[in-house]
Structure 1
Amino acid sequence: MERAPVVIEFPLRGEWQAPTTPKKQIPSHGTNRLGLRYAFDFLQVNYKKRSTPFHRLSAIRYFLFGVPLKDCYCWGEPIYAPCDGKVVMLEDGIRERKIVHWFVDSMIAIKNALFFNEEKDVYSKIAGNYVVINYGKNGYMAFAHLQKDSIAVTLNQEIKKGDYLGKIGHSGNSTAPHLHFQLMNSQDIAHSQGIPCLFEQYEVYQNDGWQMVYNQMPSETDRIRFIK
Protein backbone atom coordinates (compact mmCIF):
# COMPACT_ATOMS: atom_id res chain seq x y z
CA MET A 1 0.00 0.00 0.00
CA GLU A 2 1.38 3.41 -0.97
CA ARG A 3 1.56 6.16 1.61
CA ALA A 4 -0.82 9.09 1.45
CA PRO A 5 0.72 12.25 -0.04
CA VAL A 6 2.40 14.66 2.35
CA VAL A 7 1.22 18.27 1.96
CA ILE A 8 4.04 20.84 2.17
CA GLU A 9 4.89 24.34 1.02
CA PHE A 10 6.48 24.86 -2.37
CA PRO A 11 10.29 25.12 -1.86
CA LEU A 12 10.94 27.88 -4.41
CA ARG A 13 9.81 31.42 -5.17
CA GLY A 14 8.81 32.96 -8.49
CA GLU A 15 7.90 31.19 -11.75
CA TRP A 16 8.81 27.54 -12.45
CA GLN A 17 8.24 24.56 -14.66
CA ALA A 18 8.38 20.88 -13.66
CA PRO A 19 9.54 18.93 -16.75
CA THR A 20 9.89 15.85 -14.55
CA THR A 21 6.93 15.24 -12.26
CA PRO A 22 4.94 12.27 -10.90
CA LYS A 23 1.88 13.96 -12.40
CA LYS A 24 3.25 12.87 -15.79
CA GLN A 25 4.36 9.34 -14.88
CA ILE A 26 5.23 7.12 -11.93
CA PRO A 27 8.05 6.48 -11.31
CA SER A 28 8.75 10.05 -12.40
CA HIS A 29 12.43 9.44 -13.16
CA GLY A 30 11.85 6.03 -14.69
CA THR A 31 13.09 4.11 -11.65
CA ASN A 32 12.24 3.43 -8.02
CA ARG A 33 15.92 3.40 -7.01
CA LEU A 34 17.25 5.95 -4.51
CA GLY A 35 13.77 7.09 -3.45
CA LEU A 36 13.12 8.55 -6.92
CA ARG A 37 9.58 7.25 -7.43
CA TYR A 38 7.80 10.59 -6.81
CA ALA A 39 10.69 13.01 -7.43
CA PHE A 40 10.38 16.41 -9.13
CA ASP A 41 12.75 18.50 -11.22
CA PHE A 42 12.12 22.26 -11.21
CA LEU A 43 13.67 24.84 -13.52
CA GLN A 44 12.97 28.28 -14.92
CA VAL A 45 12.39 28.94 -18.61
CA ASN A 46 11.64 31.87 -20.89
CA TYR A 47 7.96 31.64 -21.80
CA LYS A 48 8.29 34.57 -24.24
CA LYS A 49 10.12 32.28 -26.67
CA ARG A 50 8.36 29.38 -28.38
CA SER A 51 11.09 26.91 -27.42
CA THR A 52 10.94 28.03 -23.74
CA PRO A 53 14.73 27.83 -23.27
CA PHE A 54 16.29 27.57 -19.80
CA HIS A 55 19.07 29.99 -20.78
CA ARG A 56 19.47 33.51 -22.19
CA LEU A 57 21.59 32.63 -25.24
CA SER A 58 20.72 31.21 -28.66
CA ALA A 59 19.80 27.60 -29.36
CA ILE A 60 22.73 27.35 -31.77
CA ARG A 61 25.14 28.49 -29.06
CA TYR A 62 23.73 25.91 -26.62
CA PHE A 63 23.88 22.97 -29.05
CA LEU A 64 27.30 23.79 -30.48
CA PHE A 65 29.27 25.24 -27.59
CA GLY A 66 27.08 25.15 -24.50
CA VAL A 67 26.14 28.09 -22.26
CA PRO A 68 27.82 29.43 -19.10
CA LEU A 69 26.07 28.81 -15.79
CA LYS A 70 25.54 32.54 -15.29
CA ASP A 71 23.33 32.59 -18.39
CA CYS A 72 20.94 29.93 -17.04
CA TYR A 73 17.82 31.49 -15.54
CA CYS A 74 17.54 29.55 -12.29
CA TRP A 75 21.22 29.06 -11.45
CA GLY A 76 21.71 30.61 -8.00
CA GLU A 77 18.00 30.89 -7.17
CA PRO A 78 17.27 30.38 -3.44
CA ILE A 79 15.72 27.21 -1.98
CA TYR A 80 13.56 27.24 1.16
CA ALA A 81 12.45 24.61 3.66
CA PRO A 82 8.87 23.47 2.86
CA CYS A 83 8.20 22.55 6.50
CA ASP A 84 9.85 22.25 9.92
CA GLY A 85 12.51 19.60 10.30
CA LYS A 86 16.09 18.67 11.10
CA VAL A 87 19.07 18.46 8.77
CA VAL A 88 20.33 14.87 8.86
CA MET A 89 22.63 14.73 5.82
CA LEU A 90 24.39 17.22 3.57
CA GLU A 91 27.25 17.52 1.12
CA ASP A 92 28.82 20.71 -0.15
CA GLY A 93 31.95 21.58 -2.11
CA ILE A 94 31.23 19.37 -5.14
CA ARG A 95 32.35 21.29 -8.22
CA GLU A 96 29.96 22.36 -10.95
CA ARG A 97 30.71 22.22 -14.65
CA LYS A 98 31.05 25.86 -15.75
CA ILE A 99 29.50 25.24 -19.16
CA VAL A 100 26.10 23.59 -19.65
CA HIS A 101 26.21 21.45 -22.79
CA TRP A 102 23.45 19.01 -23.76
CA PHE A 103 25.78 16.25 -25.01
CA VAL A 104 28.47 16.43 -22.33
CA ASP A 105 26.00 16.65 -19.45
CA SER A 106 23.80 13.88 -20.85
CA MET A 107 26.71 11.48 -21.29
CA ILE A 108 27.89 12.11 -17.72
CA ALA A 109 24.38 11.59 -16.35
CA ILE A 110 23.87 8.35 -18.30
CA LYS A 111 27.24 6.98 -17.21
CA ASN A 112 26.68 7.80 -13.55
CA ALA A 113 23.16 6.36 -13.57
CA LEU A 114 24.19 3.13 -15.27
CA PHE A 115 27.19 2.43 -13.09
CA PHE A 116 26.05 3.83 -9.75
CA ASN A 117 26.37 1.18 -7.04
CA GLU A 118 24.13 1.72 -4.02
CA GLU A 119 26.44 -0.35 -1.82
CA LYS A 120 29.72 1.32 -2.76
CA ASP A 121 29.16 4.79 -4.21
CA VAL A 122 28.37 7.94 -2.24
CA TYR A 123 25.08 9.72 -2.99
CA SER A 124 26.91 12.89 -4.07
CA LYS A 125 28.07 11.09 -7.22
CA ILE A 126 24.47 11.36 -8.41
CA ALA A 127 23.11 14.29 -6.38
CA GLY A 128 26.13 16.57 -6.31
CA ASN A 129 25.73 19.02 -3.43
CA TYR A 130 22.62 18.12 -1.45
CA VAL A 131 20.64 18.50 1.77
CA VAL A 132 18.44 15.87 3.44
CA ILE A 133 15.89 16.93 6.06
CA ASN A 134 13.95 14.72 8.44
CA TYR A 135 10.45 16.24 8.61
CA GLY A 136 8.95 13.68 10.98
CA LYS A 137 8.87 10.00 11.82
CA ASN A 138 10.01 8.00 8.78
CA GLY A 139 9.80 11.04 6.55
CA TYR A 140 12.74 12.66 4.75
CA MET A 141 13.19 15.12 1.90
CA ALA A 142 16.20 15.61 -0.36
CA PHE A 143 17.29 18.70 -2.31
CA ALA A 144 19.92 17.86 -4.92
CA HIS A 145 22.28 19.49 -7.48
CA LEU A 146 22.86 22.59 -5.33
CA GLN A 147 25.38 25.30 -6.14
CA LYS A 148 28.87 24.69 -4.77
CA ASP A 149 29.47 26.29 -1.34
CA SER A 150 25.90 27.65 -1.18
CA ILE A 151 24.41 25.44 1.53
CA ALA A 152 23.39 27.65 4.44
CA VAL A 153 22.44 24.99 7.02
CA THR A 154 24.53 22.62 9.11
CA LEU A 155 24.25 18.98 10.10
CA ASN A 156 21.73 18.38 12.93
CA GLN A 157 20.37 21.92 12.63
CA GLU A 158 16.70 22.35 13.53
CA ILE A 159 14.98 24.35 10.81
CA LYS A 160 11.65 26.09 10.41
CA LYS A 161 9.32 26.26 7.45
CA GLY A 162 10.59 28.96 5.10
CA ASP A 163 14.22 28.87 6.26
CA TYR A 164 16.77 29.48 3.53
CA LEU A 165 18.66 26.29 2.64
CA GLY A 166 20.94 27.07 -0.31
CA LYS A 167 21.01 27.84 -4.03
CA ILE A 168 20.10 25.96 -7.18
CA GLY A 169 23.16 24.67 -8.98
CA HIS A 170 24.51 22.29 -11.59
CA SER A 171 26.36 19.64 -9.59
CA GLY A 172 26.12 15.87 -9.94
CA ASN A 173 23.78 14.27 -12.52
CA SER A 174 22.46 17.57 -13.83
CA THR A 175 21.80 18.27 -17.51
CA ALA A 176 20.94 21.92 -16.73
CA PRO A 177 20.74 23.95 -13.51
CA HIS A 178 17.61 22.84 -11.65
CA LEU A 179 16.32 21.66 -8.30
CA HIS A 180 15.79 17.94 -7.85
CA PHE A 181 13.36 17.43 -4.96
CA GLN A 182 12.02 14.21 -3.47
CA LEU A 183 10.41 12.74 -0.37
CA MET A 184 11.43 9.31 0.91
CA ASN A 185 10.97 6.98 3.86
CA SER A 186 14.59 6.64 4.99
CA GLN A 187 17.76 8.61 5.60
CA ASP A 188 19.51 5.70 3.88
CA ILE A 189 18.87 7.06 0.40
CA ALA A 190 20.37 4.03 -1.34
CA HIS A 191 17.63 1.82 0.09
CA SER A 192 14.80 4.33 0.48
CA GLN A 193 11.36 4.33 -1.09
CA GLY A 194 9.75 7.44 -2.49
CA ILE A 195 6.83 9.21 -0.81
CA PRO A 196 4.30 11.29 -2.80
CA CYS A 197 3.71 14.92 -1.93
CA LEU A 198 1.37 17.78 -2.79
CA PHE A 199 2.05 21.50 -2.48
CA GLU A 200 -0.17 23.56 -0.18
CA GLN A 201 -0.76 26.26 -2.74
CA TYR A 202 0.69 27.79 -5.86
CA GLU A 203 -0.59 29.58 -8.95
CA VAL A 204 -1.02 28.16 -12.44
CA TYR A 205 -1.10 30.37 -15.53
CA GLN A 206 -4.20 29.55 -17.55
CA ASN A 207 -6.79 31.46 -19.57
CA ASP A 208 -4.43 34.47 -19.71
CA GLY A 209 -4.23 34.79 -15.95
CA TRP A 210 -2.93 33.29 -12.72
CA GLN A 211 -5.22 30.90 -10.87
CA MET A 212 -4.52 29.72 -7.32
CA VAL A 213 -4.67 25.98 -6.70
CA TYR A 214 -4.45 24.08 -3.43
CA ASN A 215 -3.01 20.70 -2.40
CA GLN A 216 -1.94 19.77 -5.91
CA MET A 217 1.17 18.91 -7.93
CA PRO A 218 2.13 20.52 -11.24
CA SER A 219 2.04 18.76 -14.59
CA GLU A 220 4.98 18.95 -16.96
CA THR A 221 3.26 21.66 -19.04
CA ASP A 222 2.08 23.87 -16.18
CA ARG A 223 3.53 27.35 -15.82
CA ILE A 224 3.48 27.83 -12.08
CA ARG A 225 4.56 30.39 -9.54
CA PHE A 226 4.71 30.76 -5.79
CA ILE A 227 5.06 34.13 -4.14
CA LYS A 228 5.30 34.56 -0.41
Structure 2
Amino acid sequence: MNERAPIIVEFPLRGEWLSPTTPGTKIPSHGTNRFGTRYAYDFIQVDWERKGNPAYRVSFLHYLIFGVSLKDYYCWGQNVYAPCDGIVVQAEDGYEERARTNLFSDIANAYKNAHYFDPEKDDAQRIAGNYMILKCGENVYAALVHLQKGSVQVTVGQTVKKGDLIGRVGHSGNSFAPHLHFQLMDSSNIATANGLPCAFEKYEVYKNGEWKSVSNGIPTDKDRIRFCPQ
Protein backbone atom coordinates (compact mmCIF):
# COMPACT_ATOMS: atom_id res chain seq x y z
CA MET A 1 0.00 0.00 0.00
CA ASN A 2 1.10 3.59 -0.54
CA GLU A 3 2.27 5.25 2.65
CA ARG A 4 1.19 8.86 3.11
CA ALA A 5 3.66 11.57 4.08
CA PRO A 6 4.26 11.72 7.83
CA ILE A 7 2.63 14.38 9.97
CA ILE A 8 5.21 16.45 11.83
CA VAL A 9 4.88 16.82 15.60
CA GLU A 10 7.17 17.74 18.48
CA PHE A 11 8.95 14.97 20.36
CA PRO A 12 6.83 14.35 23.50
CA LEU A 13 9.72 13.67 25.92
CA ARG A 14 12.90 15.33 27.17
CA GLY A 15 16.41 13.95 27.53
CA GLU A 16 17.79 10.73 26.00
CA TRP A 17 15.55 7.93 24.71
CA LEU A 18 15.47 4.73 22.69
CA SER A 19 12.55 3.54 20.57
CA PRO A 20 12.69 -0.29 20.56
CA THR A 21 9.42 -0.37 18.60
CA THR A 22 9.24 2.19 15.80
CA PRO A 23 7.96 2.62 12.23
CA GLY A 24 11.51 3.66 11.42
CA THR A 25 12.42 -0.03 11.55
CA LYS A 26 9.25 -1.83 10.43
CA ILE A 27 5.62 -1.17 9.49
CA PRO A 28 3.32 -2.01 11.15
CA SER A 29 5.62 -1.19 14.03
CA HIS A 30 3.72 -3.30 16.57
CA GLY A 31 3.00 -6.14 14.16
CA THR A 32 -0.64 -5.18 13.75
CA ASN A 33 -2.86 -2.39 12.46
CA ARG A 34 -5.32 -2.79 15.36
CA PHE A 35 -5.92 0.02 17.84
CA GLY A 36 -4.36 2.62 15.51
CA THR A 37 -0.88 1.19 16.13
CA ARG A 38 0.38 0.90 12.53
CA TYR A 39 2.92 3.72 12.96
CA ALA A 40 3.14 3.74 16.78
CA TYR A 41 6.29 4.30 18.81
CA ASP A 42 7.40 2.96 22.18
CA PHE A 43 9.98 5.00 24.08
CA ILE A 44 12.22 3.87 26.96
CA GLN A 45 15.39 5.06 28.66
CA VAL A 46 18.38 2.76 28.96
CA ASP A 47 21.88 2.60 30.41
CA TRP A 48 24.03 3.01 27.31
CA GLU A 49 27.16 2.02 29.22
CA ARG A 50 25.90 -1.41 30.37
CA LYS A 51 25.95 -4.53 28.22
CA GLY A 52 22.61 -4.98 26.52
CA ASN A 53 21.55 -1.42 27.38
CA PRO A 54 19.07 -2.43 30.09
CA ALA A 55 16.14 -0.16 30.95
CA TYR A 56 16.43 -0.90 34.68
CA ARG A 57 19.03 -0.47 37.42
CA VAL A 58 19.14 -4.09 38.66
CA SER A 59 20.87 -7.09 37.08
CA PHE A 60 19.30 -9.20 34.33
CA LEU A 61 19.28 -12.21 36.68
CA HIS A 62 17.39 -10.18 39.27
CA TYR A 63 14.88 -9.23 36.56
CA LEU A 64 14.34 -12.86 35.58
CA ILE A 65 13.98 -14.19 39.12
CA PHE A 66 12.36 -11.38 41.08
CA GLY A 67 11.11 -8.93 38.51
CA VAL A 68 11.85 -5.22 38.79
CA SER A 69 10.19 -2.54 40.89
CA LEU A 70 8.86 0.33 38.79
CA LYS A 71 11.11 2.81 40.58
CA ASP A 72 14.12 0.90 39.25
CA TYR A 73 13.23 1.73 35.64
CA TYR A 74 14.99 4.80 34.31
CA CYS A 75 11.98 6.18 32.47
CA TRP A 76 9.23 5.61 35.05
CA GLY A 77 7.80 8.94 36.13
CA GLN A 78 9.55 11.00 33.45
CA ASN A 79 7.54 13.96 32.18
CA VAL A 80 5.42 13.72 29.05
CA TYR A 81 4.69 16.83 26.97
CA ALA A 82 2.06 17.77 24.40
CA PRO A 83 3.38 17.02 20.88
CA CYS A 84 1.05 19.56 19.26
CA ASP A 85 -1.35 22.40 19.91
CA GLY A 86 -4.73 20.80 20.41
CA ILE A 87 -7.78 19.96 22.46
CA VAL A 88 -8.03 17.10 24.94
CA VAL A 89 -10.80 14.77 23.77
CA GLN A 90 -10.12 11.88 26.16
CA ALA A 91 -8.25 11.71 29.46
CA GLU A 92 -8.38 8.62 31.66
CA ASP A 93 -6.55 8.16 34.96
CA GLY A 94 -6.89 5.99 38.05
CA TYR A 95 -5.88 2.67 36.46
CA GLU A 96 -3.60 0.73 38.79
CA GLU A 97 -0.06 -0.03 37.70
CA ARG A 98 1.42 -3.40 38.59
CA ALA A 99 4.07 -2.62 41.22
CA ARG A 100 6.73 -4.81 39.58
CA THR A 101 7.41 -6.15 36.14
CA ASN A 102 7.50 -9.92 35.77
CA LEU A 103 8.55 -11.46 32.47
CA PHE A 104 6.21 -14.45 32.55
CA SER A 105 3.05 -12.81 33.88
CA ASP A 106 3.56 -9.81 31.58
CA ILE A 107 3.86 -12.10 28.55
CA ALA A 108 0.70 -13.96 29.63
CA ASN A 109 -1.13 -10.65 30.08
CA ALA A 110 -0.06 -9.41 26.66
CA TYR A 111 -1.13 -12.68 25.01
CA LYS A 112 -4.55 -12.51 26.65
CA ASN A 113 -5.12 -8.93 25.56
CA ALA A 114 -3.90 -9.59 22.01
CA HIS A 115 -6.19 -12.57 21.50
CA TYR A 116 -9.23 -11.99 23.69
CA PHE A 117 -9.77 -8.23 23.91
CA ASP A 118 -13.18 -7.30 22.47
CA PRO A 119 -13.31 -3.59 21.54
CA GLU A 120 -17.12 -3.66 21.52
CA LYS A 121 -17.49 -4.63 25.17
CA ASP A 122 -14.11 -4.41 26.91
CA ASP A 123 -12.87 -1.18 28.51
CA ALA A 124 -10.10 0.46 26.46
CA GLN A 125 -8.18 1.05 29.71
CA ARG A 126 -7.46 -2.68 29.83
CA ILE A 127 -5.19 -2.06 26.83
CA ALA A 128 -4.25 1.62 27.22
CA GLY A 129 -4.16 1.99 31.00
CA ASN A 130 -4.01 5.67 31.90
CA TYR A 131 -3.99 7.65 28.68
CA MET A 132 -5.01 10.79 26.88
CA ILE A 133 -5.99 11.67 23.34
CA LEU A 134 -5.40 15.12 21.86
CA LYS A 135 -7.07 16.45 18.71
CA CYS A 136 -4.16 18.00 16.80
CA GLY A 137 -6.01 18.84 13.59
CA GLU A 138 -8.75 17.71 11.26
CA ASN A 139 -8.90 13.92 11.57
CA VAL A 140 -5.55 13.87 13.40
CA TYR A 141 -5.44 12.63 16.98
CA ALA A 142 -2.43 11.93 19.21
CA ALA A 143 -2.63 9.14 21.79
CA LEU A 144 -0.21 9.01 24.74
CA VAL A 145 -0.63 5.72 26.50
CA HIS A 146 0.36 3.63 29.60
CA LEU A 147 0.80 6.72 31.79
CA GLN A 148 1.61 6.69 35.49
CA LYS A 149 -1.41 6.53 37.76
CA GLY A 150 -2.29 9.97 39.09
CA SER A 151 -0.12 11.78 36.57
CA VAL A 152 -2.64 12.92 33.95
CA GLN A 153 -2.47 16.72 34.04
CA VAL A 154 -5.32 17.56 31.63
CA THR A 155 -9.10 17.26 31.42
CA VAL A 156 -11.46 16.72 28.51
CA GLY A 157 -12.12 19.94 26.62
CA GLN A 158 -8.91 21.60 27.77
CA THR A 159 -6.77 23.40 25.19
CA VAL A 160 -3.07 22.55 25.29
CA LYS A 161 -0.05 24.10 23.64
CA LYS A 162 2.85 22.21 22.14
CA GLY A 163 5.33 21.53 24.93
CA ASP A 164 2.84 21.72 27.82
CA LEU A 165 3.42 19.18 30.58
CA ILE A 166 0.53 16.70 30.36
CA GLY A 167 1.53 13.52 32.23
CA ARG A 168 4.27 11.10 33.25
CA VAL A 169 5.60 7.83 31.83
CA GLY A 170 4.05 4.80 33.50
CA HIS A 171 3.30 1.08 33.33
CA SER A 172 -0.49 0.90 33.16
CA GLY A 173 -2.59 -1.29 30.88
CA ASN A 174 -1.04 -3.74 28.43
CA SER A 175 2.57 -2.84 29.20
CA PHE A 176 5.63 -5.10 29.46
CA ALA A 177 7.62 -2.43 31.31
CA PRO A 178 7.41 1.32 31.92
CA HIS A 179 7.43 3.18 28.60
CA LEU A 180 5.57 5.80 26.62
CA HIS A 181 3.46 4.49 23.76
CA PHE A 182 2.80 7.27 21.26
CA GLN A 183 0.77 7.27 18.05
CA LEU A 184 -1.24 9.42 15.68
CA MET A 185 -4.66 8.24 14.52
CA ASP A 186 -7.48 9.31 12.19
CA SER A 187 -10.13 9.24 14.94
CA SER A 188 -10.36 9.49 18.72
CA ASN A 189 -11.57 5.90 19.13
CA ILE A 190 -8.51 3.74 19.84
CA ALA A 191 -10.53 0.56 19.26
CA THR A 192 -11.35 1.41 15.64
CA ALA A 193 -8.89 4.13 14.55
CA ASN A 194 -6.39 3.83 11.72
CA GLY A 195 -2.82 4.81 12.48
CA LEU A 196 -1.24 7.83 10.81
CA PRO A 197 2.49 8.18 10.09
CA CYS A 198 4.34 10.85 12.01
CA ALA A 199 7.84 12.24 12.27
CA PHE A 200 9.45 14.48 14.88
CA GLU A 201 10.32 18.00 13.87
CA LYS A 202 13.58 18.18 15.79
CA TYR A 203 15.81 15.89 17.84
CA GLU A 204 19.44 14.70 17.95
CA VAL A 205 21.05 11.34 17.24
CA TYR A 206 24.33 10.22 18.82
CA LYS A 207 26.68 8.94 16.10
CA ASN A 208 30.44 8.52 15.97
CA GLY A 209 30.90 10.16 19.34
CA GLU A 210 28.84 13.27 18.75
CA TRP A 211 25.28 14.50 18.67
CA LYS A 212 23.87 15.31 15.23
CA SER A 213 20.69 17.31 14.62
CA VAL A 214 17.79 15.70 12.81
CA SER A 215 14.80 17.51 11.29
CA ASN A 216 11.47 15.84 10.54
CA GLY A 217 12.97 12.46 11.37
CA ILE A 218 11.74 8.98 12.24
CA PRO A 219 14.15 7.23 14.62
CA THR A 220 15.11 3.59 14.17
CA ASP A 221 15.31 1.02 16.96
CA LYS A 222 19.09 1.50 17.15
CA ASP A 223 19.15 5.29 17.44
CA ARG A 224 20.25 6.95 20.65
CA ILE A 225 18.08 10.04 20.50
CA ARG A 226 17.91 13.23 22.54
CA PHE A 227 15.53 16.17 22.68
CA CYS A 228 16.35 19.18 24.83
CA PRO A 229 14.40 22.25 23.62
CA GLN A 230 16.02 25.60 24.22
* TM-score, normalisation: structure 1: 0.98
Helix, strand or coil for the counterpart of 1:75?
A: coil
Q: Which deviates more from structure 2 when the two are superposed, residues 111-120 or residues 16-25?
A: 111-120
Equivalent in the alignment of 1:144: 145
Helix, strand or coil for the counterpart of 2:18?
A: strand
CA distance in 1 between partners of 2:160 and 2:92 (Å): 17
The ranges of structure 1 where at least 4 consecutive aligned residues each deviate by more than 4 angstroms after the TM superposition are: none
- The 5 A counterparts of 1:123-142 are 123-142=124-143
- One-letter amino acid of the counterpart of residue 138, structure 1: N
- The 5 A counterparts of 1:183-194 are 183-194=184-195
1:175 aligns with 2:176: yes
- One-letter amino acid of the counterpart of residue 194, structure 2: Q
Tell me the CA shift for residue 2 of structure 1.
Answer: 4.1
List per-residue Cα deviations over 1:88-108 (Å, max 9, x = no partner).
Answer: 011100000001121111211
Helix, strand or coil for the counterpart of 1:125?
A: helix
Equivalent in the alignment of 1:48: 49
Equivalent in the alignment of 1:7: 8
- The 5 A counterparts of 1:3-82 are 3-82=4-83
Give the root-mean-square deviation of aligned CA atoms: 0.8
- One-letter amino acid of the counterpart of residue 200, structure 1: E
Equivalent in the alignment of 1:158: 159
CA distance in 1 between partners of 2:91 and 2:115 (Å): 24
Helix, strand or coil for the counterpart of 1:64?
A: helix
List per-residue Cα deviations over 1:81-136 (Å, max 9, x = no partner).
Answer: 01100000111000000011211112111111111112111211101000000001
CA distance in 2 between partners of 1:5 and 1:51 (Å): 31
Helix, strand or coil for the counterpart of 1:24?
A: coil
- One-letter amino acid of the counterpart of residue 177, structure 1: P
Tell me the CA shift for residue 3 of structure 1.
Answer: 3.3
Tell me the CA shift for residue 4 of structure 1.
Answer: 2.2
Runs of 5+ unmatched residues, structure 1: none
CA distance in 2 between partners of 1:20 and 1:2 (Å): 18
Runs of 5+ unmatched residues, structure 2: none
Helix, strand or coil for the counterpart of 1:190?
A: coil
- One-letter amino acid of the counterpart of residue 160, structure 2: I
CA distance in 1 between partners of 2:100 and 2:126 (Å): 19
Q: 1:113·1:126 contact (CA, 8 Å) conserved in 2?
A: no
Equivalent in the alignment of 1:92: 93
CA distance in 1 between partners of 2:42 and 2:151 (Å): 19
CA distance in 2 between partners of 1:213 and 1:188 (Å): 32
CA distance in 2 between partners of 1:190 and 1:102 (Å): 26
Q: 1:170·1:176 contact (CA, 8 Å) conserved in 2?
A: yes
List per-residue Cα deviations over 1:59-100 (Å, max 9, x = no partner).
Answer: 111000101111100000000001100000111000000011
Percentage of matched positions with identical amino acids = 56
